[in-house]
Structures are given as C-alpha cells and as structure tokens.
Amino acid sequence: MSVNMNGRQGGLLALGLAASLAMACGPAQAQTAKPELRIGAVFTLTGPAAPIGIPAKNGIQLLEEQLAKRTDLPFTPRFIIYDDASDPTKAVNNTRKLVTEDQVHLVICCSTTPASMAILETINSGAVPNISVASAASVIEPAAERKWTFKTPSTDKLQVTRVVDDMVARGVKKIAFFGQEDSYGEGGWMALQRVAQEKGLTIVTAERFARTDTNFTPQALKIKQANPDAVYFHAIPPSSALAQQAIRRVGYTGPTYHGGGSAIVAFIDVAKDAAEGTIISAGPLLVYRELPDAYGAKAEIMRFTQLYGAKFGADKIDIFPGQSWDAGRIAVDAAERAVKGGADLTKVEDTRKRLRDAVEATRDFPGVDGVFNYSPTDHLGLDLRSTFLTVVKNGKFTLLQR
C-alpha cells in the first residue's frame, strides 16, 4: 500500500473494511444468540496409543463439521479436545480442567481403558456425564457405581459370547487361547474363561505374545501339541495376523476364531492366505453391506462411511472414529432432549444432571457401533444384536451365514 494515499482511496478502503467486518460479525452474532453446548474430549493423540486416539479425534472433527450445517439445533455445539499423551495422570488433569475451567456439560474420555478408569473419581465427584470410547467392560460395570459413565465400543464379553456360541454349535469341546499380553489381551482372556465355563468348554492351553514380538512359532507349536478343537485369538494386527500365520505354519488345521481386534482390513493384508476361513467377531461396520435394510443401524453406518471416506479416505474407515462419532451424536441427541425438557445450558451443574439422565434414557439410537439402548443397569447399550461373526472368504470379510 502506498504511503501517500489520496482521499478517495482511503474512503474505499474504509468502506471495504466496514463491509468485511460486517460480514465477519453477522453470522457469528446470529450464532451466539443460541446457548453453547460444551462437550470436552480427551483422546490419546501422542504416545503408544495414538493410533487409537487420532482417528477418534477425526470422528469428532467430522461430527463438528456436520453439526455446523444443522440450523435446527437449539444450541451451538462446541467441542474442546485435549491430548492425554497415553498417560492416565494427564487424562485426569485434563478432565479436571474440562470440568472446572472449561465448564463443559459432558465429557468424552478416554481412548484407553487405563485412562478411563483413572478419571472415574473425577467424573463422579464432578457430577458430569462421561461417554468413554475405551474397550473394557470394567469402565462401566457395575453400572450402580459408574453412575456417570457410559461407553460406545462393544465389549470383549459380547464378542467372546458370539464366538463360544458358534464353537458349541460346531461341537467343539477343547479350546486354546492365544492372546496379546497386555490389558487388551487380558480382557479377552478373562471373558473367555468366564464364558467357556458357562458353556462347558475346557481351555487346554493359554499362550501369550507381545505386540512387538518378532516370532510366534514356539507358542503356536505348543498349541498344536495341546491338540485343541479350536483356537481363539485375542489381539490386534499385525501381531494377531502373524500369530494366525504361525498357527497355520506349524500345521494346525482346526478352526480359528478372532476377537474384534482383528476385524480390520490390515488383518487380511498381513495374514494373506493364512486368514482364509478364519472366523472373526465384529461390529456391524465391517459387514453392514450384507445386513438386511431392516437392521436399525445400517443407514447410519452408510452415512458415516460415506462422510468419513470423503474427508479422510476410504481406506481410513475403521471402528475408532465410529466410536467417537457415536459418543458425540449420543451426547448431542441427549442434549436436544434435555433442552426440550427444560434444561438451561447456562446453568451448567443442573444441565449436567439432566444430560446424564437423558443419555441413560437413550433408546433405539442407531450408531456406527450398533443400536444403542442405555438403561440404569446397562451403560454399554449394545447387545448381541450388534455383534456379528464374519468369516474371511477369498480375502474379504463376509457375514457368516448359518
């Protein structure tokens, strides 16, 4: 811009500035007329568990964009996202910050089970509803003690129950467990022990491996020598796929089952031919195309995969963004009902209480993880209807028909 500006230029500039200011302020003012719904989220964006937390953040970002297009909401949703760096202590600090400083109405925390357990006390004493996206059932059970905590991801127990039912139907008597030696694998192991006992199966051996192991054959050999009728794997790829390869390499030919961790395309990519015929228990996202249109969540899953695929790439669609997407949508839906029921979002403490009750009253809510039905005794909201068995056929997951 020249220093010697003449009068006319200056006038034009002022006019332009005024116009752009008016344009910038106009919609913003229209928005602030509505009260703000503050949803705080703590995800694991750095550190070892980042692969789970980053997609979860993407799910929330997508939801925020979609919600911005909706004009019918009685409030303006705002999401505040923090990172817990794979550290439960940091998760607690950030949750506390959300509750006391940011004055959020609802919390979505956390990506991992240890962090979700660590914040229970903060959630209860802060009397703020939380929807966790961690996998273990212990986050929400018993529901009486976890009054303020809900979650969206399906649990180990649901997956294992489906698997064991199928084993029983095939006349399997002796099974082996082959799982990851961390909290995820232990969750599967506890669930398998409980369900197997209920259904009268004997576990002949339980072998472990680590996510970063380079060799799985010794354990596979041991399993083969124990001679089980079927093997259940509870781990995530690549190690679950490498373990599957190892069990075939040592010459075991019986049926193999996997928990939900293996229900992603990476499993087939890594295990290749060894994956053929493997039965994997999974949520509806993996097989929604084959489900009947009558299935409650099908339309929602199609909408989600379309939107998410368009923004982040079709190959990035998996369960983790779906879980946070569901958590966010359940929260917004509950808030709509709460506001209709007379909640005033400016009165934060009262709204938190009303929001919690509204989340608990969620019925027949279609999400990416299935159809949610929360109740005072069930804070997971999913049941066997949202757990499916899939079989790998010609390098693709297909719904197991019986």
- Residues in touch with another protein (CB under 8 A): 46, 48, 50-51, 54, 181, 206-215, 217-219, 221-222, 225, 237-238, 242, 266, 269-270, 272
Cβ atoms within 10 A of the Cβ of 75, count?
Answer: 18
Report, in Å, the least distance between residue 146 CB and another protein.
Answer: 30
**Least CB distance to another protein at residue 160 (A):** 19
Nearer to another protein, 25 or 210 (CB): 210
Token pair recorded at residue 376: 């005072």
Q: Nearer to another protein by C-beta: 313 or 342? A: 313
Token pair recorded at residue 95:
């949750």
Least distance (Å) between residue 268 CB and another protein: 11
132 to each of 138, 170, 207, 226, 316, how far by Cα in Å?
11, 36, 30, 39, 22
* Contacts (Cβ under 8 Å, ≥6 apart) of 255: 167, 170, 172, 229, 230, 231, 277, 279
Cα–Cα distances in angstroms (integers) from residue 227 to residues 190, 222, 223, 235, 252, in the given order? 22, 9, 7, 21, 9
Residue number, 77 or 260, with CB nearest to another protein: 260
Residue 9 or 46 with smaller CB distance to another protein: 46
Q: Whole-number minimum distance, CB 311 to another protein, in Å? A: 16
User: Please, which residue, 269 or 349, has the CB nearer to another protein?
Assistant: 269
How far apart CA 116 and CA 113 sit, in angstroms, is: 5
**Tokens standing for 52?**
């789970």
SS3 per-residue string spanning 223-262? HHHHCCCEEEEECCCCHHHHHHHHHHHCCCCCCEEECHHH
- The SS3 of residue 110 is coil
> Toward another protein, which CB reaches closer, 190 or 221?
221
Output 54 or 204, the one with its CB closest to another protein.
Answer: 54
- What pairing do the DSSP bridges indicate for beta strands 370-372 and 365-367? antiparallel
Q: Tell me the backbone φ, ψ of residue 357, rounded to 5 degrees.
A: -60, -35
Closest approach, Cβ 307 to another protein, in A, equals: 21
Q: How far is the CB of 227 from another protein (least distance, A)?
A: 14
What is the spatial distance between Cα 336 and Cα 283, in angstroms, rounded to a whole number?
27
The nearest distance, CB 159 to another protein, in angstroms, is: 22
Cα angle vertex 253, ends 248, 255, to 5°?
100
Least separation in angstroms between residue 269's CB and another protein is 6
Q: Which is nearer to another protein, 176 or 338 (CB)?
A: 176
| Shortest Å, Cβ 213 to another protein | 8
Checking DSSP bridges between strand 279-282 and strand 388-393, what pairing results, if any?
antiparallel
Distance CA 133, CA 245 (A): 30
Distance of closest approach, residue 385 Cβ to another protein, in angstroms: 31
DSSP, collapsed to helix, strand or coil, labels residue 397 as strand
CB-nearer residue toward another protein: 272 or 289: 272
To the nearest whole angstrom, how small is the minimum distance from the Cβ of residue 388 to another protein? Answer: 24
> CA 259, 274, 161 angle in degrees (round to 5)?
20
Judged by beta carbon, residue 199 or residue 316, the one nearer another protein is: 316
Q: Which is nearer to another protein, 79 or 209 (by Cβ)?
A: 209
Distance CA 238, CA 246 (A): 12
Strand partners, 370: 367
Distance CA(127)–CA(244), nearest Å, equals 45
What's the rounded Cα separation, in Å, for the pair 324 and 63? 9
